[in-house]
Amino acid sequence: MADCSRIDHLIDFDPDHLQLNLTIPHAVLEQACRDWLGFVPGDALWQHKCRIGGRGSAWLALMEYLVRAIAEAPDRLAADRVGRHLEQTVCLHLLNDWAARAGLDPAEPGRSVVPRHVRLAEAYMAEHAASLPAMTEVARAAGVSLRSLTDAFRRFRGYTPSAFLRERRLQEVRRLLQAGGSDMTVSRAAYALGYVNLGEFARSYRARFGERPSETLRS
């Protein structure tokens, strides 16, 4: 059961069957959308009522695997990369099934309705992520005031321009670490994206991805 804070819902439990109450906070689903889709869907998805799963479905099989994995190693699953990856798998499967029943394409964010200055700002921040541009500089590159840019991001993206830049930098560092190479180090990857305080960087990275940068590099 996903977080239903945006819509009324009904739970019908059957006393003759094992019940798994799976609660996924809305913020977790939104973050999964940003990570994998590059945008956050609107209420056409979040307020769509439907049934997901059922006898013989892939969703039910995934829930069975989830329960078995938790039963075998609950502490390890809560702390290591396996748990994080399983969380992402559950969220993505749920989002895909949910979108299909809502008649939406999860790969198409409907970018045509997003203002041009938002897309310009995103492109500018992606290109200059390593130099950590000031938001006033980003707004100037997009041709609008900082207030207009911030309001547009909040309305059409659900987060601020600075949040986009933080996420972009962390994702780029992660990409460098995953690519690895004999001469790649955590500090080299961090410096490449403009991080100076490695301790602060490591804390932000672990909070975002659930593992230390060195673990990503080793894997």
pLDDT 10s digits, 21-64: 788 888 888 888 877 777 777 777 887 888 888 888 999 999 99
- Classify residue 200 by burial, with Cβ atoms within 10 Å: 0-12, 13-18, 19+: exposed
More confident position, 101 or 7: 101
Q: Which amino acid is at 24?
A: I
Q: Alpha-carbon distance 195 to 170, whole Å?
A: 10
The per-residue pLDDT of the chain, averaged, comes to 85
- pTM greater than 0.75 (yes/no): no
Q: Token pair 């702390």 is at which residue?
A: 79
Residue 62's nearest CA partner among 30, 37, 87, 26 is: 87
- pLDDT tens per residue across span 95-143: 989 888 888 776 665 544 578 899 899 999 999 999 999 999 999 999 9
User: Residue 59: helix, strand or coil by DSSP?
Assistant: helix
pLDDT at 156 exceeding the cut of 70: yes
Please give the pLDDT value at position 112: 43
Structure tokens at 201: 């960087």
Percent of the chain with pLDDT over 90: 38
Band (74; pLDDT cuts 50, 70, 90): confident
User: Phi and psi dihedrals of 24, rounded to 5?
Assistant: -115, 110
CB 188 within 8 A of CB 195: no
Percent of the chain with pLDDT over 70: 92
Q: Which long-range contacts (CB under 8 A, 24 or more apart) does 193-201 make?
A: 193/129, 193/130, 193/169, 194/129, 194/130, 194/131, 194/132, 194/169, 195/169, 201/173
Please give the pLDDT value at position 111: 46
Q: Round to the nearest angstrom and report the end-to-end CA distance of the chain.
A: 32
Please give the pLDDT value at position 55: 85
CB 94 within 8 A of CB 40: no
Please give the pLDDT value at position 100: 86
Mean pLDDT, rounded, for 191-202:
92
Q: Alpha-carbon distance 12 to 106, whole Å?
A: 29
pLDDT at 7 exceeding the cut of 90: no
**CA distances from residue 57 to 52, 141, 144, 212 in whole angstroms, order as listed:** 9, 49, 49, 35
- pLDDT tens per residue across span 204-214: 999 988 889 99
Structure tokens at 52: 């997901």
CB 170 within 8 A of CB 216: no
pLDDT at 81 exceeding the cut of 70: yes
Please give the pLDDT value at position 140: 95
